[in-house]
Structure 1
């Protein structure tokens, strides 16, 4: 197969992918928040969402019966997460619990932000059963198809989780971790100045010839020329319409990132983008940004205490 053949095939696949994302779009935010509850990390949640979208589309070609869209993508995400835990040598606990088929609960689970203590005491399947029921209102019969397991096992899993919560005398919560300022040097310092000066050439000057630019949920660019021709050109068109660009190097949720914001005429800051950078020998070899990761960006804006420049975001990609 020639390069041109692959290019034509890629265009066909992109058209199919676009149709698929439009179909699952009504459930995208629910999927992201589900992955966030599973992983406890916005970054890991985003990775799990991407893996879910890739695998769910690939597997779909092998599924011949009708499927419920939401249950289908939740099932793929669940299986991926359980597999990850198994690979991490997660210690499973016994399911020898008394069955409790009472589906109502006296807890307001929507208000519980930190469930770390619960996940440490449950198996992945027990934890998934709990989250799907309490946070996303799935029925036991639906959960049994997602995991898969039996309805009675689902009831047992819920009983286990609720018993742990009910009997927990002390509940400790982690202090809220705000973004921490970091000191940039080398190519990151140049990159920050490039953002602030709205200068794509300055930014390009620290990119490797073989840089990989990963636009989460939108595309992948391989090489400097592709990045200049696409992402940097598009970025320049946007920032030229904006007032003052503020770029900061921070640690956000445990990861060093570049935060790109616009300072508008109202003197308020609006989040444009979040950039994750990898360098080698004073060059940027990998550049990943999240402006199309809708739910992650909303969460980040809230964490940073700024507004979200949603005018430039598009939910379907």
Structure 2
């Protein structure tokens, strides 16, 4: 099955002006029917990356402008959401470069494989995906997510909030699947520590270190 290409920010910036073309009626229909319905999800992602309504709106606007310009690269009926999130992520990074800022980097030397370190004793303690992120996003959770370094925050948003698969996330942020798993594992553990008191208020218990009887 052929997969549509996800646009690369640097390649987009370097494309010659002669490639500018008019959007066809069919492409415009695809844009309106498949891409525009993702606007709320895009804004949510952009806001959690920027913490600023104006910046988030600018990111979303830039994303749709690029999506419109490169609509011929999108294959109708495929993953419109992942394609748009890829464009938005690249636009976010590009903004940092233009402002001479860098997203906070992560030291991965102390991060081991998700599958190698997953402890069965953690299973009964706060499953973020199945519990907290299903209709219980409160101020405490939002604050905790926003406090994470951007690399960790991004994978939490893409996986636990937006529901992307590991494979989709790997394509969106341009890293191996193993790195996605490692970042998620580390990010979830950091959130668990920050949200422990909040979880206890919701009735969760910390079963770590307790042996099954």
Q: TM-score, normalised by structure 1?
A: 0.43
Q: Distance in 1 between matches of 2:184 and 2:153?
A: 8
Residue number among 175, 179, 189 corresponding to 1:163 in the alignment: 189
Task: Report how far residue 98 of structure 1 moved.
Answer: 2.4
1:92 counterpart residue number: 105
Task: Report how far residue 23 of structure 1 moved.
Answer: 2.7
> Does the 8 Å contact 1:126/1:154 carry over to 2?
no
- Alignment of 1:56 with 2:67, yes or no, is yes
Q: Distance in 2 between matches of 1:65 and 1:23?
A: 10
RMSD: 3.4
Question: 1:99-114 to 2 correspondence within 5 Å?
Answer: 99-101=113-115, 105=128, 108-109=132-133, 110-113=136-139
Rg comparison, structure with higher value:
1
Deviation track 1:121-143 (CA, whole Å, cap 9, x = no partner) reads 42x33221110111111111111
Q: Distance in 1 between matches of 2:62 and 2:161?
A: 22
Query: Are residues 169 and 127 of structure 1, via their aligned partners in 2, closer, same or farther at CA, if it must alter by over 3 Å?
Result: closer
2:94 counterpart residue number: 83
Q: TM-score, normalised by structure 2?
A: 0.61
Give unpaired runs (5+ residues) of structure 1: 1-8, 173-317
More helix per residue: 1 or 2? 2
Q: Which protein, 1 or 2, shows the higher relative CO under an 8 Å CA cutoff with sep ≥ 6? A: 2
Q: Distance in 2 between matches of 1:142 and 1:89?
A: 24
> Does the 8 Å contact 1:78/1:128 carry over to 2?
no
Give unpaired runs (5+ residues) of structure 2: 1-19, 199-213
More strand per residue: 1 or 2? 1
> Does the 8 Å contact 2:105/2:151 carry over to 1?
no
Q: Distance in 2 between matches of 1:17 and 1:65?
A: 10
Q: Distance in 1 between matches of 2:33 and 2:26?
A: 10
Residues matched between the structures, number? 161
Q: Secondary structure at the match of 1:111?
A: coil
Deviation track 1:30-69 (CA, whole Å, cap 9, x = no partner) reads 22222222222232221111010011222334x3767521
Task: Report how far residue 28 of structure 1 moved.
Answer: 2.1
Q: Distance in 2 between matches of 1:39 and 1:82?
A: 11
